[in-house]
Structure 1
Amino acid sequence: MSSIEAVEKRSPLYAVGTAGKYLILALGTFLTLGPVVWTLWVSLTPSDVETNVTTFGLAAFADVFKKIPVWLYIWNSALVTAIVAVGQMLSAAMAGYVFARFEFRSKKILFSLILATMMVPMQVTIVPVFMLIRGMGLADTLLALIIPALPTAFGTFLMRQYFMGLPAELGEAAEIDGAGPWGTFFKIYLPLSTPGLAIVGILAFNYHWNEFFRPLIMTISDQNFTLPLGLVTLQGNLGTGSVSTVLAGVIISMIPALVVFVFGQKPLRDGLTAGVGK
């Protein structure tokens, strides 16, 4: 450490600046975690409406499982989310590889049209998508939530950029050794694209696990509800004062996303920083 840096750290302005940074970080932490902590605390401290007695425990969580078929909703959400995440990883990898490594007519126009779909809100396309799903006889089924979500414009763009960053010499060497287009893709490029696929999969999981709008439009029967949609049936407890039951359901829905974030944080970070340095 130089003498100039030592003098600067002893100055009052440096201390004020450091305190300001910690204050801003503390404020951001409070605004981010405050609602979550409050939700967890209220769910663990339910109050009896008649006696107005507050107890600490998991009674509100048990009440959630009594009022709605939570395990069914969790299974529906897990099935839809897992298939969509894997499907988006595969479709994005294949489409991104084609746009990155092959030359064909109207390639740039087609890719621009795919990117343009990212600018169209879901609310604009939900009606024609619903008409197509109903025409296929898939209305009020889990397939109505899975099939339209398999293609992903953002994932295609991300994987295209990722494949363009990989050496083209790898594919040329594989072709010399007799590998075809599919063999080159599955044996050479796909294993190298794991960080990019991790980003697509984690983002797809977090989005579709918490998705509410499409299940609300596409499904009618209770047995096809996903967890976010099924938790809406708990809103009647707000009128009876059982707010803890509603918030306990919210906490239950947050646990899988939290687990995926904790275990997927390293692959997500590696995928975002891939190619930054050698």
Structure 2
Amino acid sequence: MNSEVEAAGVFTVKRIRTSRKGALGFILDGFLIVLSFLMLSPFLWIVSTSLRLPKDSFSLPPAIFPTAFNFSNYAQVFQQVPFTAFIANSLKVSLIIVVGHIFISSMAAFAFSRISFPGRNMIFIVFLAGLMIPGQVTIIPQFIFISKLHLVDTHWALILPALINPLGIFLIRQMMMTISSTYDEAAYMDGASRMWVFLKVTLPMVFPAVAVTSVMTFISNWNDFFRPLIFLNTFEKMTLPVGMTVLNGTFGSGNLSAILAGVALSLVVPLLFYIFGQKYLVDGITAGGLKM
């Protein structure tokens, strides 16, 4: 009899704990849903306003959803600016930077993590100190250097300075530090060269870090407004963030719905890159903080 009472008591306690966990999980899920909606609300407002009539853009109180879907705003974007050329310029600059980043950052990370040379750690610390210097501080000497190379008003003025990515080197190097050196030693014993070890052994193992830094590099250069504004003068060579300012019109008199239609279109490409690389985001960032 006592055992039955004890069993019933244990079952009741477990049921209460389960119900508490269920209630807590329900509250947490509700909170996350509300938080997600708040974070997505600016994007929802961009898409909603891009489909409104121009006269409804400043209506009070503002409506969340458009009363009439006006897709002509998207056509107006291509009519007012060479939007396709801006997309092509941004893709050209961003993709070349990403490809260069993959090779340069991964090779630098391999040197800092796998090759012993005098002052390696000190050089790495000094190298990382560059992360604390804002890009606006170095833009004047950078412009002078680019002008002496006669690269002003070319896309190479944007590409060459962006090929060195200290943050990418740091993240890839940190993931390489977590890989056992026995893999390298086994390859060297089989007669492999250092470049073969880098390409065939180490680089595939740090692909999550390379992928996440590539996504970060692409998005940062795709959204870069400051450097193209400084280095580019020809309208046809401008990248998307600078070229989109034409939609704003003189003294900000442009069609807000058309402006946000252009913004919505400009989000498609980085969104696709982010969707592709998001599964590596946690692995890459977590690996970056495992070992120093």
The answer to whether the Cα contact below 8 Å between 2:247 and 2:255 also exists between their aligned partners in 1 is no
Aligned partner of 2:106 in structure 1 is: 93
CA–CA separation in structure 2 for the residues paired with 1:215 and 1:91? 23
Aligned partner of 1:215 in structure 2 is: 228
CA–CA separation in structure 1 for the residues paired with 2:72 and 2:201? 53
CA–CA separation in structure 2 for the residues paired with 1:28 and 1:142? 40
Aligned partner of 2:15 in structure 1 is: 6
Structure 1 residues 182 and 274 mapped into 2: Cα distance closer, same or farther (>3 Å)?
same
CA–CA separation in structure 1 for the residues paired with 2:115 and 2:180? 14
CA–CA separation in structure 1 for the residues paired with 2:68 and 2:54? 7
The answer to whether the Cα contact below 8 Å between 1:73 and 1:225 also exists between their aligned partners in 2 is yes
Letter in 1 for 2:197: T
Letter in 2 for 1:111: F
Aligned partner of 2:249 in structure 1 is: 236
Structure 1 residues 102 and 3 mapped into 2: Cα distance closer, same or farther (>3 Å)?
farther
Q: Quick check: 1:83 aligned with 2:96? A: yes
| Residue among 23, 43, 47 paired with 1:40 | 47
Letter in 2 for 1:29: S
Structure 1 residues 168 and 9 mapped into 2: Cα distance closer, same or farther (>3 Å)?
closer
Q: Quick check: 1:184 aligned with 2:197? A: yes
Structure 1 residues 109 and 46 mapped into 2: Cα distance closer, same or farther (>3 Å)?
same
Letter in 2 for 1:95: A
The answer to whether the Cα contact below 8 Å between 2:183 and 2:201 also exists between their aligned partners in 1 is yes
Question: Aligned Cα RMSD in Å?
Answer: 2.6
The percent of aligned pairs where both chains have the same amino acid is 37
Aligned partner of 1:248 in structure 2 is: 261
Q: Quick check: 1:29 aligned with 2:26? A: no
The answer to whether the Cα contact below 8 Å between 1:165 and 1:275 also exists between their aligned partners in 2 is no
Structure 1 residues 73 and 192 mapped into 2: Cα distance closer, same or farther (>3 Å)?
same
Structure whose alpha-carbon radius of gyration is higher = 2
CA–CA separation in structure 2 for the residues paired with 1:90 and 1:260? 19
CA–CA separation in structure 1 for the residues paired with 2:38 and 2:96? 34
Q: Deviations over 1:12-54 (max 9, x none)?
A: x985x556534532442232111110110110122359xx9x7
CA–CA separation in structure 2 for the residues paired with 1:158 and 1:117? 15
The answer to whether the Cα contact below 8 Å between 1:238 and 1:246 also exists between their aligned partners in 2 is no
Structure 1 residues 83 and 75 mapped into 2: Cα distance closer, same or farther (>3 Å)?
same
Structure 1 gaps, min length 5:
none
Structure 1 residues 166 and 34 mapped into 2: Cα distance closer, same or farther (>3 Å)?
same
Q: Deviations over 1:49-86 (max 9, x none)?
A: 9xx9x741310000000000001100000000001111
The answer to whether the Cα contact below 8 Å between 2:152 and 2:231 also exists between their aligned partners in 1 is yes
Structure 1 residues 18 and 73 mapped into 2: Cα distance closer, same or farther (>3 Å)?
same
Structure 1 residues 4 and 125 mapped into 2: Cα distance closer, same or farther (>3 Å)?
farther
CA–CA separation in structure 1 for the residues paired with 2:241 and 2:33? 31
Aligned partner of 1:159 in structure 2 is: 172
The answer to whether the Cα contact below 8 Å between 1:76 and 1:224 also exists between their aligned partners in 2 is yes
Aligned partner of 1:127 in structure 2 is: 140
Structure 1 residues 247 and 183 mapped into 2: Cα distance closer, same or farther (>3 Å)?
same
Letter in 2 for 1:167: S
Q: CA deviation at 1:237?
A: 7.4
Letter in 1 for 2:95: A
Aligned partner of 1:112 in structure 2 is: 125
Structure 1 residues 104 and 28 mapped into 2: Cα distance closer, same or farther (>3 Å)?
same
* 120-129 or 1-10: bigger deviation: 1-10
Q: CA deviation at 1:178?
A: 1.2
TM norm structure 1: 0.89
Letter in 2 for 1:41: S
The answer to whether the Cα contact below 8 Å between 1:96 and 1:159 also exists between their aligned partners in 2 is yes
CA–CA separation in structure 2 for the residues paired with 1:2 and 1:127? 72
Structure 2 gaps, min length 5:
1-9, 60-66
Letter in 2 for 1:192: M
Q: CA deviation at 1:246?
A: 0.4
